[in-house]
Amino acid sequence: MLNNTERRGFAIPTAILVIVTLTIMVAGGFSLVSAERRSVADQKSQISAFRIAEQGLELFLVRRDSLLAGHPGFSHVPGATPDTAVIAMTGGVATVTLTRLRPVRGSQSGLYVARSRGVETVGAYAGTPQGVRTVAQYVLWEPAPMQVLAGWTALSGLQKNGGAGTLGGIDMCHDSASVAGVVVPVNPGYTGKVVAVGTPPVDSVAPDSVAIDWNGILNLGAITPTITMPGGSWPTAAMQASYADSNSTYYPIIRVNGNFVLPSSGRGMLIVTGTLTLNGSVGWKGVLLVGDDITSNGNNGIEGATLSGLNVKLGTYIPDPSTANGTKQYNYNSCEVAKSTTTMGALVTLRNTWVDNWVEY
């Protein structure tokens, strides 16, 4: 007969085994859930970082000037030194850098790459690294287009006294087709010695066909000047150095309200609402936009494009004809025109160049 006191039980080991098994299964389940949550959080962070990077890139392309306020060249064509803007976004920050690949040369646009690195800084799953994505786009810096009909377009007529010099429409930059040497309305036209060269040397045009929004420039802020006079100071030293330095990138936009006598040589875009007088050997590289007439005395030299008598386009009165006395060299130069309008340009994206796998080291 068996002694029950000697029987060995198996219920407790079985219960322990079941508990251990269930514990392992529960732990495994929690581990799977945690891994799934972390995977989803990683994907969410990547998508959020991508959104931040793309929004930052788009904001930079349309608001570069304001985002780079205080930057040494924020109002000018992007230079050799990369422009960088840190843009705070909802949920993170985008760091956008614009790097030059090819500078502006004459009428050839500058080539740049804009890359945006988006980082998610909030909302990440605990223990998960910050999501980071980088997108990039190739862009062009396109100078503002300007219609050039002649080396000198005189909407109130032009009188040339003396047979020395050249009023030329042949591109001194050798980059664009020739234009007329002089363009004037039929009445009063061009009088005096014919020293014009171009295609044709002298041409006639109706003022309305000259595509310059003079009213917008004068009254609607179509062109934002770098310096306004009276009020601002004429940058004599800088302009003299700029005129002598063929590699200078200093091409300001100077607006003068009223009549003006050019005090020294310079370069850029000069907007004079009244009359402009040039004496002696002063010269200019770039664009002259003059409301009334120009009186040019002495051995003056202009390279770029000259437009006078633009107040005709306002329809209020007809200014006196411009006068060129002595030896003149008023010549069309497409490179100088492009440089003078460069600061009014904009970044234009190149199609099919956007990437979201830009490599960073």
Alpha helix segments (H runs only) across 68-182: none
Strands (DSSP E) contained in 217-275 are 227-229, 253-256, 260-261, 266-272
pLDDT at 297: 93
* Separation between Cα atoms, residue 37 and residue 24, nearest integer Å: 20
Mean pLDDT is lowest, of 121-135, 155-169, 236-250, for 236-250
The DSSP call for residue 264 is: S
| Sole residue written with tokens 């796998």 | 357
- By CB neighbour count within 10 A (0-12 exposed, 13-18 middle, 19+ buried), where does 279 fall? middle
Q: Which pLDDT does position 72 carry in this prediction? A: 41
Give the pLDDT of residue 9: 62
β-sheet bridge partners, residue 20:
none
* Beta bridge partners of residue 346, listed in sequence order: 142
Q: What is the DSSP letter of 355?
A: B
pLDDT band at 71 (very low <50, low <70, confident <90, very high): very low
Bridge-partner residues for 159, per DSSP? 191, 323
Give the H or E element holding residue 106.
none
* Domain boundaries of the chain, sorted by first residue: 19-143+345-349, 150-344
Is residue 261 pLDDT above 90, yes or no? yes
State how far the Cα of 272 lies from the Cα of 207, in Å rounded to an integer.
18
- Residue 17: what pLDDT? 76
Which amino acid is residue 37, in one-letter code? R
What is the band of 330 on the pLDDT scale with cuts at 50, 70, 90?
A: very high
Pick the closest to residue 275 from 260, 263, 286, 288 (CA basis): 260
Q: What are the pLDDT digits (tens) for 266-293?
A: 889 999 999 999 998 898 999 999 999 9
Asked if 270 and 246 count as a contact pair (C-beta separation under 8 A), the reply is no
pLDDT score for 53: 92
Cis peptide before 230, with omega less than 30 degrees from 0? Answer: yes
Give the separation between CA 200 and CA 84, rounded to whole angstroms: 48
Residues 176-195 have pLDDT tens digits of 889 999 999 998 899 987 78
Pick from 49, 91, 85, 58: which is nearest to 69 by CA? 85
CB atoms inside a 10 Å sphere around CB 111 = 15
**Distant-in-sequence contacts of 66-72, Cβ < 8 A, 24+ apart:** 67/96
The C-alpha angle 101, 344, 204, rounded to 5 degrees, equals 115
- CA separation for the pair 82, 102 (Å, rounded): 12
Mean of per-residue pLDDT scores for the chain: 83
Helix or strand run (H / E) with residue 137: strand 132-142
31-40, 64-73, 347-356: which range is least confident on average? 64-73
pLDDT recorded at residue 109: 79
- Check: CB of residue 214 under 8 Å from CB of residue 311: yes
Q: What is the pLDDT of residues 74-92, one digit of tens each?
A: 446 677 788 888 999 888 9
pLDDT tens per residue, range 97-139: 999 998 877 667 789 999 999 998 876 666 667 788 999 999 9
Q: What is the pLDDT of residue 276?
A: 96
> Per-residue pLDDT for 42 more than 80?
no
